[in-house]
Structure formats: structure tokens, C-alpha cells
Structure 1
């Protein structure tokens, strides 16, 4: 499934195929009132809250730079921009190396606000070609001003140009500027931009409250998700470049300080495996080509593929999987597929939840309640007690949404959902879903706006979050109206090979109850962490 913006397809690393997206959560219904006492469970929330208004991820930030656009100039070169109000002297200290997120305020011809987006802008430290998303740029300098352009000519004589110009650097190395997109000599899109260097958050070290126990490189694909069972960690990877296809990597983690890779599984023509779960001797892998690949892991070090779900001759794209009790759920381009897995190696399809066209992204389940992250359609609560009669009980939506992942628990007798989207501005929302027909936002937690939240896992009154370039974040949610960070580990390092995508960093996370946190990072592979 592709995450694309309706205004400009080069955004979000040129609309990379949506990654990361595995479900993460305990198998048994989570109740925040149970579990071993720890520092996060001393507070007992009484269930009271003030409802919060939902306004979406962004409001108008105002123009982000002093540069403007020359009316009717569709050349997408230096003449397209008016830099007369820019303090170009300050650009002498603007960044010329590293990775940046560019927050872009899209504007209409009169300068009015249209939307806020984020673009990935990278300067290779080795002096190579800079890029904007997947576009390779040519650099032109005029004094301290830098102009970056990409030009494409088509066989029919048409042209497409993108241009980014720097304006000033009031807080170097950060800079501001303007972006333009032109087609056939016409200016079609205009934005002011400001940069954020991708690095650890100001004032942070590598870690606080967490320590690295071991690190194991995954040498296939782009690692996306993990499941831990039978003393083994199963890491699935997706294909981002054809030269590095994805698949399954199996680690023996009996020695947490030194996991051992015991097997790699790759299937030609089926290399985009994004989600993974297990039940008994069955391992379920989400495949973009074959649906759900079912492996026999009776020998946990030697998975054997035995079937694909739902089977048949037609291909189906499954992005994520989740198991609750004797039910397997799979988010597909045909909706959420429901299977009976009473016999784990012989799943039987029960029904499909597909109230809308398009693909849901993920889901969570507790008992007979199914909670679906339906991407652009929002967050859905579904009664799945009768698989032949799946009923939507309620939904939560917000402007420019992309509902991506969730975890559900019971606090002070109320059912709460911790919901996260994926994309620019997406963060943690805390929802009271006790009455699904009247869902109320009661809390939130944000980090840097350009960087998207990813997967989350609720254990007792702690929420463990894989937050892309923000690494791993542990939140105390004993007062769910005010989630508080109590620990973190920065997995992202600029020096790691393969960095530079928008969806980059910590993606998959599991806390299986053995005293360790298992994390999948897109560059570093499998990391085992321990709380201090």
C-alpha cells in the first residue's frame, strides 16, 4: 500500500511503499490494573478527564520563509523566486551535509494556506548528489544562495521541474527557503519550507533508562517487524531496492547477549513481508504477493512454508497480521480477513470486514472486539462476536488522517485506545472507547512534528513505542490523560548504512515478558534492550 499525498507525489520519500506496520500487542486481553508493580504503576487514575478537541495533525504555521514567488513564472529556476527579503548573508553557515526533514507550507497564488507536508532532503556526506525524496538534484550557487533542481523531459515534449532555493539560516545549520513544482512551464505548486536536521533530540544522549544488550544485523531487505516465540526471534523484511530483496531471518535468542542467526528464508517473486505473528507451531507472515504465508515452526530454527492464505489463484496483498485467541486477523486489500486458527496450521477463513474500498492498515483485538486502523478512513471499533455479522460500532476520524496502529487496555474500568497514525505530524492519541458510538479524545503525546510515530505495545501501564527516527520511547500511561516519557533509546544514527528514507529507524517492537525489549531498526537490524 502506498502512502501518497494528493497534492504532491514526491513527498514522503517519493511516496515510498508504506512500511512498518506490524501489529504489536499481548495475546491475552490487556488490563492495566494487573501486572507486576513498577515505577509506572504507583498512580491510580480515577477515570476522570476533560474531553479534548481534535483538530488534526497540523494548523497553519504561517509562512516559513521570507522568500516569495514571481507571479506566472513557471521556469522553476532561480528566476521563479524573489529573494529580496531574505538575509542571504546568514546562509554562509547553512547546512551542506547530513539529512533533513523539510516542513513545507503549501500555499495558493495569493499566499493562502493549503496544507502542511514534509519532504526528506539529504546531503551525502561523501560529496555525492543531494536528493529530495527520490529525486536526484543538481546544485547551483549564487553567492550564499543554493538552488537545487530536478528536470525531467518526456517523449511528448513535456517537462517537469522541481526547484528548492535557500533563503536564510537564522539558526544555522537549519535553513529556510522556497520550493516550486512546474509542469510544461507552469507553476503548479509553491511552498515555503524550514529544515530540521535529523539527529537525536536536543539535550538527549543515546539512551536514558534503557540499555543495549545486543545488536544483530539483518542482511536481507529492509527490516520491518518481529515476533518472539520458542526462544527464537523471527524478523521479516520488505524489498525497497531490487538488489536487496526481503524475506524472513530467524535468530536463536537463547543467549540474549549474542543472538545467533540460524536461517534465512527468501522466495523469488514474494519478497515484501511486512508483518509477523505466531500461534503454537504456526508462524503467520504478511505477504504483499501471496496473502498470509503459513510456516510450520515445530522446529523453531527451521520454518517450513506449508500454505498461503486465503489460497486460490488470485493474488492478495496482506500488510499486517494479528492473533487473538483462536482468531487470526489479516489487513489486506480486500479488507480485514478473519480466520479460525483453532488448528493453527490449518486456518479456516470466516469472513472479511470491508466496509470501505481501500486497504486497512492494521488491527488489534480483545475478545470479540476488533479495533481497525482503516488508514484514510479512520479508526474503527467492530463487534466481531459473530464472524458472519461484523458490525461497526463506532469510529474516530480527524483531518488528513492516516490511522496506522493501536493498542487497547482497561483503565479505571474504562476501555482506552492508544492510537497512532503514520506520516507527517502523526503522534499518539489516547481515546476513551468505552462507548464506541461516542469516542472521546482524552490525551495525546507528541515528539518532533516532522517525524512519524510507528508501532506501539501496551504492557501494564507502560506504552512501548517504536517511533522511527526517534527510536524507542517508553511512556508511563498510568494517567492516560497525560502520557509521560520515562525512558528512551535512540536507535537512529546518521553514520548507519542505508539511512535517508522518510520511513527510517525503529519500526517493529515486542516485549514478550522475558525481561527484554526486542526492536527492529531498518538499518541496524535486531536490537535487544533492557530497562535499567
Structure 2
């Protein structure tokens, strides 16, 4: 979400059947019992002709809600991102975070709630450590801090918690970063004794204390895993020596930092969504990422928000958060190519790799003008032999789409609620929708945690994969690299 004045370590295990799954990768057949799954012949799903009523739920036959856990005070502010570890889900909220037990996905329970205000509270986990992003000026770095004007900024950055006891997380360390931390990305060190945190932030101004112009960089925090209280900023690389895209006032954002970065550690790759630019980076040296290719879309993209690689690392999907998540952009007026995803093929090798545009994807259902709807956070579904992604669209709901053919992406499943208000635009909807160990988890900004089950012949092999830890912006490889 765009900030207005007042979007991860990998560990996985694969079931023994995964070896057999590799042999199926190029010739996947539907498992027994899949013949009854209803999908259109073209591979797309049937779309309802009318917009659902307030809070009315609609979906394709192959995607069903199995649980909802509403948010409660004091964590009743806006819900944000999700992270996963073993049988737990960790959900960010502008007032702190919630730890859920999801060992029974159809009946999740709350393990603990931690009150610690500081938007957005973007969240990730690594072993016994949990990281939170603070991107609003605070009176200090404590969980009892209060908001202050940007002209009086005293603290913004990363908070670190010890979560060895999930029922009683302990705040142990803070690290201040330039312009705060809108989002962050965990990057495992190659020695396993270190984890790095790539901090993305933006929005500098001449009057913003701690965030002056220009701001063309990210902050890199080095965290010794066994002594996390020694965490500190070790580098502030300038990713845009030329200043980046200059923007178009009122239409397209200028580059002044990055909104979000997704890393693919096993391939030493990262993709940065940086407001006005999309970048591909080599992260072989974790403390010195290098930009090897940069793309712009001056026709349709307004705000480069986030990125997702396919499993092979040969494609990247960028999202455009047109309107900052607060506008109704899933309608005929805006059209199919704005506020959408863009699929790029990655061609070439080494430093000669380039990103080549192939197509746009946007949900095919029109939303009401009372619904904020735009491309937002999603994750790759770990399917053998296909490129399939689940994605949040705020009040546009949740979409599952196939981009195996880069030039012709197709939706294969969807689930959505009707608007929160029939008379006026009222912000809400799903912030993040991620696949984790057989289910889709959604952190709805207003309605709380939703759990959904996808039953589709094209995705059944994803059930062979079991993650032990998942931070979506630290992309795992489920086929070993």
C-alpha cells in the first residue's frame, strides 16, 4: 500500500513423492477424482455477470473458503502481510501482529497477540526471530511509542522479536533505517550464521527528518542469528545513480527508493519493484547487490509494487498498485492493462540477462466503484511443470492464475466478497493471499484471517510440497534450484 501522510528466509522439505513428481513435470495428468472440477474449456473460469451484494461471497467451483477468524481489539487496525513457520502463521497488523496455530487449517486458533503499533508492520520470520517494519514516524522505538509528525521523526525502521515461545514473543532489538521500513525482505547468508534484511522505503522530502532527498537506495541490515541484538546496518547501496524514473505528476510515481524486493537466494537473483522502475539484481554478494537490468512501463504502470519469480527463475511478474490500494480500478473505465500484473521473460545469462515484456493480467470481473481493487500481494503455487500464482486484489478478492504461457495468462480460480458498503467507497479486502502447505491464507484488512482450499487438476502436485518456513518475498525453490 502506498504511504500517505497522517506489499524472508526459505526452508522447505518435499515429501518423498516429489521425486516421482519430477518425472511428471512435463506430462502431468489429472489425479483420480478430478473430472468433476468445473472449469471453462479454455482454462479460464466462468465469471459472474453481476457484482455481489455487500459481504456476499462468490467463487469459482474449485476455490472455497474453509475458515475465517475475525480480528479483535487491540489488533483491530488494518491487517497487512503474512509469514509462515511449521504449524504457525504470523499476521501483521498496523497495531502489531498475531500468531495463529494453523495445524488444523479449517479451524485456526490464536496463540498470541502482540500490541506494537507502527505501520505497516510488514512481517517475516527466521528460526526464532521475527522482523517487523515500521514506516511511520514514532516517538521512540518501543511498542508504547506514539505517532509524531514527519518534521519531528525520532524513529522508524526494523523491530526484532524472539519467538522461541510463540505464546510470549519478546521484543529484543531495533534498527533505525533511512526513511523507515515500508517493507523488508530476508536474505539468508551463505554461511547460515547470518541473515540479511533488505529494507525498502521511499517518499523522501526536504522536511522529512531522517528521510531527505534524494533517496535512491535500500538499507541492508546484517543479523547474526545467534546474537541478533548485534544487528546493524552494514550497507546502503545506491540502486539508481541516475536518479531513476522522474515520474509524471499525478499519474506515474517517480523512483525514490523501492517499494518491495523479492529475492531468489538459490539463484542469487532479486527483483525490485521500485515505484517507477522494475529492476533485476545479482545478489551473489549479499552486502552489495548489483542492478543488471532495468525496465519501465510509461504507458500503463503507475506504481511498481511487488515482484514474483517463476520457479525456474526465467520469468518475473511485477504488480502495479495503481491508486495506492485506495481506489476503484477494477472497472471498465480503467481497463485491463492498468492496475494489473505484467509478465516478463528473463532472457540471456549472467550480467547479460534482460527482462522482456510479454503480457498483462488483470482479474476479468468488474468490481463496483465502491470497492478498492488493484493488483497486490501474491505467491507462486508450487506446481510441477506450470507457472501458477495466487494473488490478492483487495476487494477484488483472490485470484489464481496460470502464466505458463507468458503471452497468454489465464485465471483458473477466484473467490471474492462483495463491497463493504453499497453507497460509498470503503477500503478493505485481502492484503496478502499466499499458498502454504495445501491451503491459501488471506489476511483481509477488515475481515481477518481467511483460509481457502483450491481443488483443481492443474495444481494437485502442489500438495506434494511441504514448507517448514515461508516468507514469500524470499522465494523458495521447490524443485531444488
Q: TM-score range by the shorter chain?
A: 0.5 to 0.7
Corresponding residue to 1:506 among 415, 421, 430 = 430
Q: For 2:20 and 2:425, locate their aligned partners in 1 and report how far apart those are by CA, in whole Å.
A: 40
Instruction: Specify which structure has the bigger relative contact order, considering alpha-carbon pairs within 8 angstroms and separated by 6 or more residues.
Output: 2
Give the number of aligned pairs: 341
3-state SS, counterpart of residue 208 of structure 1: coil
- Written as runs of structure 1 = structure 2, the 5 A alignment for 1:55-70 is none
In the other structure, the counterpart of 2:415 is 489
1:340 has 2:222 as partner: yes
- Per the alignment, residue 262 of structure 2 pairs with 364
Distance 2:424 2:121 in 1: 19
> Structure 2 CA distance, aligned partners of 1:519 and 1:495?
17
Say whether residues 1:277 and 2:118 are aligned partners: no
2:183 aligns with one of 320, 341, 354: 320
Deviations 1:338-383 (A, max 9, x none): 233451735343312332472311011113222111012x111122
1: CA distance, partners of 2:422 / 2:93: 16
Partner of 2:363 in structure 1?
447
Deviations 1:434-466 (A, max 9, x none): 346642111221226883110121133211111
State the SS of the aligned residue for 1:385: coil
Is 2:346 aligned against 1:433?
yes
TM-score (norm 1): 0.57
| Equivalent residue number for residue 304 of structure 1 | 170
Q: Secondary structure at the match of 1:221?
A: coil
Cα offset, 1:199, TM superposition: 4.3
- CA shift for structure 1 position 487: 1.2
Tell me by how many angstroms 1:16 deviates. Answer: 8.0
Contact kept in structure 1, 2:375 and 2:393, CA below 8 Å:
yes
Q: Which residue of 2 aligns with 1:519?
A: 442
**What's 1:374 paired with?**
274
Deviates more, 1:347-356 or 1:216-225: 347-356
Which residue in 1 is equivalent to 2:200? 331
What SS does the aligned partner of 1:277 have?
strand
1:234-245 to structure 2, matched below 5 A, reads: 234-238=90-94
- Quote the Cα distance in structure 1 between the aligned partners of 2:410 and 2:124: 29
Taking the aligned partners of 1:468 and 1:422, their CA distance within structure 2 comes to 11
* Structure 1 unmatched ranges of 5 or more: 4-14, 29-33, 45-195, 239-245
Counterpart residue number, 1:227: 83
Are 1:467 and 2:393 an aligned pair?
yes
Equivalent position to 2:62, from 189, 197, 209 = 209
Q: Alpha-carbon deviation of 1:486?
A: 1.2
Distance 1:496 1:258, change over 3 A: farther
- Aligned counterpart, 1:401: 302
Cα separation, 2, equivalents of 1:455 and 1:343: 28
8 A contact 1:252–1:301 mirrored in 2: no
Q: Kindly indicate whether the alpha-carbon contact (under 8 Å) linking 1:232 and 1:301 is maintained by their aligned counterparts in 2.
A: no
Of 96, 102, 112, the match for 1:247: 96
Hey, what's the Cα distance between the residues in 2 that align with 1:358 and 1:437? 24
Aligned residue in 1 for 2:113: 264
Is contact 2:100–2:111 with CA below 8 Å preserved after alignment? yes
Q: Which has the higher strand share?
A: 1
Q: 1:481 Cα shift?
A: 2.4
Task: Measure the CA separation in 2 of the matches of 1:255 and 1:498.
Answer: 38
Q: Which of residues 202, 220, 235 in structure 2 aligns to 1:351?
A: 235
Cα distance in 1 for partners of 2:98, 2:302 equals 33
Q: Equivalent residues in 2 for 1:142-221 (5 A)?
A: 199=52, 205-219=58-72, 220-221=76-77
- 1:392 corresponds, among 291, 306, 315, to 291
Report the CA distance shift for 1:521/1:439 in structure 2 as closer, same or farther (over 3 A): same
Contact 1:408 1:415 in 2 (8 A): yes
Cα shift at 1:524? 1.0
Cα distance in 1, alignment partners of residues 50 and 96 from structure 2: 32
Q: How far 1:278 moved relative to its partner?
A: 0.7
Aligned counterparts of 1:215 and 1:388: Cα–Cα separation in 2: 41
TM (norm. structure 2) is 0.63
State the alpha-carbon separation in 2 of the partners of residues 336 and 396 from structure 1.
18
Q: Do 1:251 and 1:261's aligned partners in 2 also have CA atoms closer than 8 Å?
A: yes
Q: Which residue of 2 aligns with 1:65?
A: none
Secondary structure, counterpart of 1:353 in structure 2? coil
Superimposed CA distance per residue, residues 48-102 of structure 1 (whole angstroms, 9 cap, x where no aligned partner): xxxxxxxxxxxxxxxxxxxxxxxxxxxxxxxxxxxxxxxxxxxxxxxxxxxxxxx
1:123 aligned partner: none
1:43–1:479: 8 Å Cα contact kept in structure 2? no
Change (3 A) 1:386 1:42: closer
User: Does structure 2 retain, via aligned residues, the 8 Å contact 1:208–1:489?
Assistant: no
Partner of 1:457: 379
Distance in 2 of aligned mates of 1:455 and 1:217: 20
